[in-house]
Amino acid sequence: MVSDRNPSHGGSADPSDRQQPTLDEAVADLAAAVEAADDERFGDALRLVGGLLGPAGPRESAAVGPQLATLLPDTPPFPRSRLAMMVGACVERGADPVACADHVLAGLREALGAAQLLVERWQETDGGELPDPDRDNPAEALGRIEDPDRLDEWHAQRAVIGWWTLHLWQMASFAVYSYAAVRTSARASGVTDVLVELADRYSGGRHDLKCLVHLARTLDDEPLLVLDRPTGTGYLLRMDGLSDNFQLHTLLADVLIGGGHLPGTRPDPEVVALCRTEVPDGRRLTAFGSFNLVAPDGSWIWNEGTPDDIPVVDGVRTLVLDPQPYERSWSAGRFIQQVPGDLRLERVLTPAEAGARLAGAAEARSFEQAFR
């Protein structure tokens, strides 16, 4: 930017008089650096955008988020993850998450695959402690894993970049996956299945992917058919934002026992509130089990899993409730605090409908079989 004062003849204006560029202007300069493939100019432009984005308001951040996201594919590999973090910050301030998600999740996919490549190559080169991105030199890691006969320079660089930047891609992806529209779109397109498979395959240990996987697998606007074996009754419910089966278990008890449909003890209202929208206030509240969650084939649906574990039968996720084989309790709440949860009863099945569905459900496996 030039100063709004005219420079005196024979010299430029004092730099202190120069105006700070706007965030829009800085983003435009970043885009120009990307188009020109000018890495040195890109680094300066990225730092400027980061500096201006920090104090920017929600409206400005929301406006530039999708613009920054479109730059990701052509951004230099190492700083690409930092740009993705800026996109995630814009989403948290109101940028359209769907418009920003595709390139962020594509970057996560690349980083996951590349990081696993480093892990595998590290084991092939005498193993030992994996490099620490906060302390170790990526050039030394590159020198160790590169081998013309096993892993050429391009793939070795890719592996190092993935390992060094995976944690940033995790955070950026968490920001976009926190929105139901992104989760729905990514699930429908198959992106989530691919990312979950890569996360399951990842064996690096340093990066804990559990929270991100639970978030990605969270179900929204999803019907759930529940069959209660002891009473022979059935219920069609709808799940929203449920990320773990402890949460689902509590809400099932609230809706079905609390609603007078099944016998038992209704959960504490404060426990239920933590499973829906409330944020913990520092107290440790305890939730108690009411059922054993079972798939129609007799296998157990573990509380430690996600509602996505419940199988789809005849087009709808179907869950059977049996008496608890032992008492259970756990800390109340939801695994992903950023996402509110809900479970609603849509209708009670007729006795004939419930009976027909239950007739096709296998008996639950024994306690011993469940642990095999």
Retrieve residue 233's tokens.
Answer: 């009754």
- Is residue 20 very low, low, confident or very high in pLDDT (cuts 50, 70, 90)? confident
DSSP string, 257-298: ITTTSS-SPPPPHHHHHHHHTPPP-S---EEE---EEE-TTS
pLDDT tens-digit readout, 202-259: 988 778 899 999 999 999 999 999 999 999 999 999 999 999 999 999 999 999 999 9
**pLDDT for the residue 146:** 94
Domain ranges, ordered by start, for the chain? 23-216, 222-370
**For residues 3-32, average pLDDT:** 65
Write out pLDDT tens, residues 252-310: 999 999 999 999 999 999 999 999 999 888 889 999 999 999 999 999 999 999 999 99
pLDDT in tens, 141-182: 999 999 988 889 999 999 999 999 999 999 999 999 999 999
This prediction's pTM: 0.89
**Exposure b/e, 114-137, CB count within 10 A at least 16 = b:** bbbbbbebbeeeeeeebbebeeee
